Chain A
């Protein structure tokens, strides 16, 4: 057990004992290696279920809005629960975004910040194993030891199987917290934040089109990307609307593009590049690229990254006289 995991359990136990929180949202082990599951604890003795390791990729912020919704059938006065949550850098940015968009109340939230050195992308591990499944995995310093279902053993560099978002991440500790458990050793890598986008931008329009087609034609319309995304909290998603119906139900490119481009545009100035959509996609689609391209555009146009603090105005939620107006053309 890591030091952070141990401290986390103690902290959560204390929060319950002192009645600071009614509910805690964290990660617990799931049935297959390198996967965890969100867990919802309601007492101190459940704190032992918590885990903290490189497979806690789930962005827990996505689970928060539902906890503050007045339950159907509740009569009279209803008080939202006090909810504790463990947050790595990206989770905390999503929490900031959700607070600003008034989906979760700051005063009913207790955030435990943790430092993060990057999360393992299970798809990359699956790719490295090839045709066999993953039976066991163990992190050993800078490498990951994996055993396949046929008994084959492999050692892969941990850095090789980290999620793309984690490789370029510049916010490895929580930007909003009530308690911070991050260790001083958490280093921000010296990588360009938009290396992947820059490579995409350097391609010709035909090549870009080809890339998008090859990625999006894998889509099976399961909406795992949407459901795993903290920003996708709409009561009724445009993709689900039936009157009018904005897009068809098929996996034809036109329908798939309409969904993914629509979703990407709804993320403009809001995406924190947590990689939850990529991790959730059962088809291994590079869903990050579109969002990162928009993130880059927003940063270049408005000079801000999304959801870094409760105070700073979000690029697309305010008007400033100095905002770039070059997009305007004569009628």
Chain B
């Protein structure tokens, strides 16, 4: 496994090199903290960003995209043009989310060409965390501050330098292309990286996550959803900030026979999400919608993909305008076999 060290004084050069002939997307400082943004000036890249305001899933699963255009019954399925992209400074939880999204968009042999093309053309340079963010709980859901899932390169911030570890062939090629800027990592540096990750792991507050799927199934009729449903405002903040939420809607926008088919993010929190053409809505109340979000992540995804679809980034907790705390809901679901 290739491991190299980059002196931080040469970071700008590395970013410039990564952005040559590619789109470079990395965290920059924004009014509420940090956001992923296309980089034209590498000096703006912020290595300290822990959890960006929104997750970087937009890079592989944009908020909306035109699937194709049409005129009358003539469909124009133009070849999807996707620029090669380097996502730099992705935190390990968000990188792991890409690995989970891959499973959805290739589920049961059905490959989503739009997602996969973006994913293929996106290189993920992750950055291990030295300190947790506001509501982080990655270790409670199978992640870690130095998780390697979903990334091509994993970096460690060691004060004066970055240790960069290639995780895939593509990652190795990327690091080799920057070999003029780096040196082989020393044993001491490798040890320092390990220590930093271990230290960060200790700073996290563990959350009890329900493991008993039968008990989760039984929770379906629990009273607790009623109060949670009353609190939940029914907006889309949690799902849109979430790195693993992947539900979408498909809409045709037509004017005088000319139009486009658009795919856009959607969320189970919206009442419109399950509204049938007949007018019937199987999820009439917000408690049913909120329950769906929690059980989809922690029950149905486990049944379908073998893993909970939560990477513990805590964005839903930090940004919920109603003050709902998924961690507390999980603790409640985990604390008793029979949830009330």
Contact = CB atoms under 8 A, between A and B. Distances in A.
Interface stretch (B96-104, B213-221, B316-324): B316-324
Chain A residues touching B, majority SS: loop
B167 interface: no
Interface stretch (B25-33, B107-115, B188-196, B296-304): B25-33
Contacts of B236: 220-224
A251 B235 contact: no
Looking at A37, A123, A228, which has the most chain B CB atoms within 10 Å of its CB? A37
A92 B103 CA distance: 49
B325 interface: yes
A331 to B, nearest CB: 30
Contacts of A31: 135, 317, 323, 325, 327-328
B324 A37 contact: yes
Contacts of A32: 134-135, 317-318, 323, 325
B17 to A, nearest CB: 24
A66 interface: yes
Given A37-B231, A149-B50, A131 B29 contact: yes
B258 interface: no
Chain B residues touching A, majority SS: loop
B233 A228 contact: yes
Interface stretch (A190-198, A276-284, A309-317): A276-284
A36 B235 contact: no
B240 A220 contact: yes
Q: How large is the interface on A (under 10, 10 to 19, 20 to 34, 35 or more residues)?
A: 35 or more
A166 interface: no
B262 A37 contact: no
A30 B314 CA distance: 14
A30 B323 contact: yes
Given A30-B325, A66-B230, A282-B241, A228 B63 contact: no
B235 A224 contact: yes
A72 interface: yes
Interface string A21-54: 0000000001110011111100000000000000
B248 to A, nearest CB: 10
Interface residues of B, number: 49
A135 interface: yes
A127 B317 contact: no
A62 interface: yes
Nearest to A40: B230
Contacts of A126: 32-33
Contact of B53 (A58, A63, A283): A283
Interface in A262-292: 279-284
A283 B35 CA distance: 10
A133 B64 contact: no
A288 B64 CA distance: 26
The 5 lowest CB-CB distance pairs between A and B, nearest first, are A37-B323, A133-B134, A31-B325, A30-B323, A280-B321
Interface of B: 29, 31-34, 46, 48-51, 53-54, 63-64, 131-135, 227, 230-231, 233-237, 240-241, 249, 251, 253, 262, 264-265, 270, 272, 284-285, 317-319, 321-325, 327-328
6 contacts: A30-B324, A32-B135, A130-B33, A133-B318, A221-B236, A245-B251
Interface of A: 30-32, 35-40, 58, 62-63, 66, 72, 123, 126-127, 129-135, 149-151, 220-224, 226-228, 240, 245, 248-251, 279-284
